[in-house]
Each structure stands twice: as structure tokens, then as C-alpha cells.
């Protein structure tokens, strides 16, 4: 692996502008840390995929373990991959027209660290290179000059978007009622219920991503293009980070609207003192502690509960759970133990997944799965793919959701889920206020 390091000040917009030059190419991957969040300062731009791992329904976790080599790999795990996470039981799941997981190894990867102003260029010399690709390699060797050229470049689009399908409130209310029946019967304590809208758009997926990155910068954003579909994510949530023997998960549960009419401090206090939201987060935090604790060093679990993070339209409450990994356990086993995240399934997790399958009656695809990377040193960082869009042909799938507990009201949960999607609606030029009767 050839590596070249540059110590230069750069703007995050320059990363987007650089990625845009290649946005027409299938396989482009951009993992983007926007905003000034402590969770992550790293962004990765990967171009020209040379190897791939496609995961299907036959032993997907085992196949991923076998096929991963000590290189950089970038990709996703769909929500449906979670049906195979339990070692004793394969859950029922909805079939999807995209793979359960898809990872790629690239000729060129650029790692940006916005805190240290460090840029690292990696060229995978084991990969065959065409003459055209070699020209790009030569260009990247002069990356600082190229980034200067791209400063001030503007990415914009104003095409309208037409909503084709949405879940109406009556359907949502029925599903909430059914979940609450399961809660009263003692099956579960909470279930994450999601709903899907489909819109028609001619917008470039990358321009939608760029608008989201500008409007609602998030630490775990991602853009991945494939031949038949494109993933756009502006996730604020980390599923699992591994750095050496350090492990960290940061589950989010509890949200409140943020706008120019209400003081942030007032909203923060409302969220922190909400018995319902604190109970939801406590349950999911305990679930994460248990999932990590089964495989981590004894007494290594440390928790920081009830933290707040502010985004453009919303304030989130979250916890931080840290642990120490055991050397004898495969890194993928930690990822498998937490996947899918408790914040987007429920508690207990397996029963919540079964109820989600019964009630939602559709594949979630990449939404509420995970997007991330693995390094040659077997470290990794994966998000929970919320605020995530799936583009196929000229349609885009918009999925939103939230936790249902015993004292949830369908109307409040429905509108909270729409609040989470405000930046998405705006980026798509979707008239969400009329379409969803939003107020």
C-alpha cells in the first residue's frame, strides 16, 4: 500500500467538491464527517473499486469473515442482515432487491482528518490500474493544489420532487396500537416503528447529499453509488467503533424539535427531564451494555448517560458506552453482537425484530442497517443508517421512525418522526408541510 501524507488546512466543502468530480462513477464511496462533533473528525473518499464482497442469505456473517482481507473495505450491512446475527436462530425477514451487505476495496482512498488538518492518500498497489486510472493517481499526488482549485465551487439544484406513496396516519395509528398490545402482554418494552414514503425525482443523488451535508451536517454521513442504486445518509448515530482494544457505541433515543421560536436551553431541559425519553434511552443503553459486555473484558464497561447533541432541526439525547475488547475474539463478532442496533429495533431485541417483521411488512434495506469501513489493522467504525435514502432509477425511498412504548401516543410519535426528516424533505425540494399536514 502506497501512502502519502499532506499537512494542509482544508474546508469540508472541498471534500464534497472533490467527490462530485467522480459522482457519475458507480462504486464511489464518501464517508463524511460534517459539523463540529466530538464523535468523529474523519472523512474517507474512495474511488475506483477493484474488489467486492456481496453478502446473500447463505451464512452472510461467516462469508464476510472469510472474505475480508487486511485492506481498507468500505460498504454497508442492510437491516435484513440482522436476521442472521443471532447464532442460534435465523429470524424471518423481508427479501430485498439489494444485497444483504456490500463491501468494496478501492484503488484510491483519501483519509481527511478535520481536527489535525491531516490528509492521507492511499494507493492500493496490488490492484491493476488502467491508463485512465493512472492519470487520476498522478493527479491525486498533487492533491493540495487540486483542493485549492475546488474552493468556492458551488453544488446546487432546485428540481421539484413528487411524492408517490406515503403511510397515512390511520395506518400508522393501527400499527402503534398493535405494538402497545404486545407491550401490555409482556412481549416487549419498546419497538422501533418506521414508515416509508416513495418520491419521484430527477435530482442527482449526490447533489441531494451535498445539500443535506450543508443543511444538516452529521458526523456519520455517507454516499455510496452502485450501478442500480445509490445510498445517501446523514446519520448522527454511531453503532460501533473499534480502535485497537477500545470499543464505543453511542445509542440515540429521545428527540425534541429545534427552531428559531424556542430557546435551545428550554428544549434541552424538556428533553433531559422527560420521564418517557429517559426511560427509552435507559432501556437501549442497558441493551448496548449487555451486548458489548458478553464479549468484552470483565468490568471494562463504562457508561456516560443522558448526553445531548444539537442538529439543524432537532436535539438528540444519547448515551456513550465504552468497553475493552478481548484479543482472542474476532472484531466482527463485536459488530455482529450489536447488529442491528437496539435503538432501531427495541427491547428485547430479538422479539422486537419479530414484531417489526410482522407489522411493517416490508424490507427496510440499508435504512437502519449500518454503513462504515474496516481497516487493515481490523479496526472499524459503523453508523446506524438513520436519515438514510435509497435512490433507485428516478425514485427515492424515505424512511423515518421512532420508539413506541406503553405511554406513547400515535400522533406525537408520527410527528416526531416527520421532524427527524425535515432536512431530507427540504433537500429533496419536497412540499412536506402540505403532503404530511405538518405543523
State the catalytic residues: 237, 253
Cell 411493517 appears where?
Answer: 360
Pseudo-torsion of CA 20, 310, 334, 45, nearest 10°?
Answer: 10
Give Cα 370 to chain centroid, integer Å.
Answer: 5
Main-chain phi, psi angles of 138, to 5 degrees: -60, -35
- Name the residue among 196, 81, 103, 214 with its Cα closest to residue 157: 214
* CA angle, 155 then 224 then 165, to 5°: 85
Helix (H) or strand (E) holding 77: strand 73-77
* Distance, CA of 410 to CA of 413 (rounded, Å): 5
8 A C-beta contact, residue 157 and residue 427? no
* Distance, CA of 267 to CA of 360 (rounded, Å): 31
Q: Are strands 302-310 and 190-201 parallel, antiparallel or unpaired?
A: unpaired
Written as nine digits, the cell of 284 is 437501549
- Name the residue among 100, 175, 129, 229 with its Cα closest to residue 414: 175
Give Cα 274 to chain centroid, integer Å.
Answer: 26
DSSP label at residue 36: S
152: left (phi over 0), alpha (psi -120 to 50) or beta: left
Amino acid at each position: 500500500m502506497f501512502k502519502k501524507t499532506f499537512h494542509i488546512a482544508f474546508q469540508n466543502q472541498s471534500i464534497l467538491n472533490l467527490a462530485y468530480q467522480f459522482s457519475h462513477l458507480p462504486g464511489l464511496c464518501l464517508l463524511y464527517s460534517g459539523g463540529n462533533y466530538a464523535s468523529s473528525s474523519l472523512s474517507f473518499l474512495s474511488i475506483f473499486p477493484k474488489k467486492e464482497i456481496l453478502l446473500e442469505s447463505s451464512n452472510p456473517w461467516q462469508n464476510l469473515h472469510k472474505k475480508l482481507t487486511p485492506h481498507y473495505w468500505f460498504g454497508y450491512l442492510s437491516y435484513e442482515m440482522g436476521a442472521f446475527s443471532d447464532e442460534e436462530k435465523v429470524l424471518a425477514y423481508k427479501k430485498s432487491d439489494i444485497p444483504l451487505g456490500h463491501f468494496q476495496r478501492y484503488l484510491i482512498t483519501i483519509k481527511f482528518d478535520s481536527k489535525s488538518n491531516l490528509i492521507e492518500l492511499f494507493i492500493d498497489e496490488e490492484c491493476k490500474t488502467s491508463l485512465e486510472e493512472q492519470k487520476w493517481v498522478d493527479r491525486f499526488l498533487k492533491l493540495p493544489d487540486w483542493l485549492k482549485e475546488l474552493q468556492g465551487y458551488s453544488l446546487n439544484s432546485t428540481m421539484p420532487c413528487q411524492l408517490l406513496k406515503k403511510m397515512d396516519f390511520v395506518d400508522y395509528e393501527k400499527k402503534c396500537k398493535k405494538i402497545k398490545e404486545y407491550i401490555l402482554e409482556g412481549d416487549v418494552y419498546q419497538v422501533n416503528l418506521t414508515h416509508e414514503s416513495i418520491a419521484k425525482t430527477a435530482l442527482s443523488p449526490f447533489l441531494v447529499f451535498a445539500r443535506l451535508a450543508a443543511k444538516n451536517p452529521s458526523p456519520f454521513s455517507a454516499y455510496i453509488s452502485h450501478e442500480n442504486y445509490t445510498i445517501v445518509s446523514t446519520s448522527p448515530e454511531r453503532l460501533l467503533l473499534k480502535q485497537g482494544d477500545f470499543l464505543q457505541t453511542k445509542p440515540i433515543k429521545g428527540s425534541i424539535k429545534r427552531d428559531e421560536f424556542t430557546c435551545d436551553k428550554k428544549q434541552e431541559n424538556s428533553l433531559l427531564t422527560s420521564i418517557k425519553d429517559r426511560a427509552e434511552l435507559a432501556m437501549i443503553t442497558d441493551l448496548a451494555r449487555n451486548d458489548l459486555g458478553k464479549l468484552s473484558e470483565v468490568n471494562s464497561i463504562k457508561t456516560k448517560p443522558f448526553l445531548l447533541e444539537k442538529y439543524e432541526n432537532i436535539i438528540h439525547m444519547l448515551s456513550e458506552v465504552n468497553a475493552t475488547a478481548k484479543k482472542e475474539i474476532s472484531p466482527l463478532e463485536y459488530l455482529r453482537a450489536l447488529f442491528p442496533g437496539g435503538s432501531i429495533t427495541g427491547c428485547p431485541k430479538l422479539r422486537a425484530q419479530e414484531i417489526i417483521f410482522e407489522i411493517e411488512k416490508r424490507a427496510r434495506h440499508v435504512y437502519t442497517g449500518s454503513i462504515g469501513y474496516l481497516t487493515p489493522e481490523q479496526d472499524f467504525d459503523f453508523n446506524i443508517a438513520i436519515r438514510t435514502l435509497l435512490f433507485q432509477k428516478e425514485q427515492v425511498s424515505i424512511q423515518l421512525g421512532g420508539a413506541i412504548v406503553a405511554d406513547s401516543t400515535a400522533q406525537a410519535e408520527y410527528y416526531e418522526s416527520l421532524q427527524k426528516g425535515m432536512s431530507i424533505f427540504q433537500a429533496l425540494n419536497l412540499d412536506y408541510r402540505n403532503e404530511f399536514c405538518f405543523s
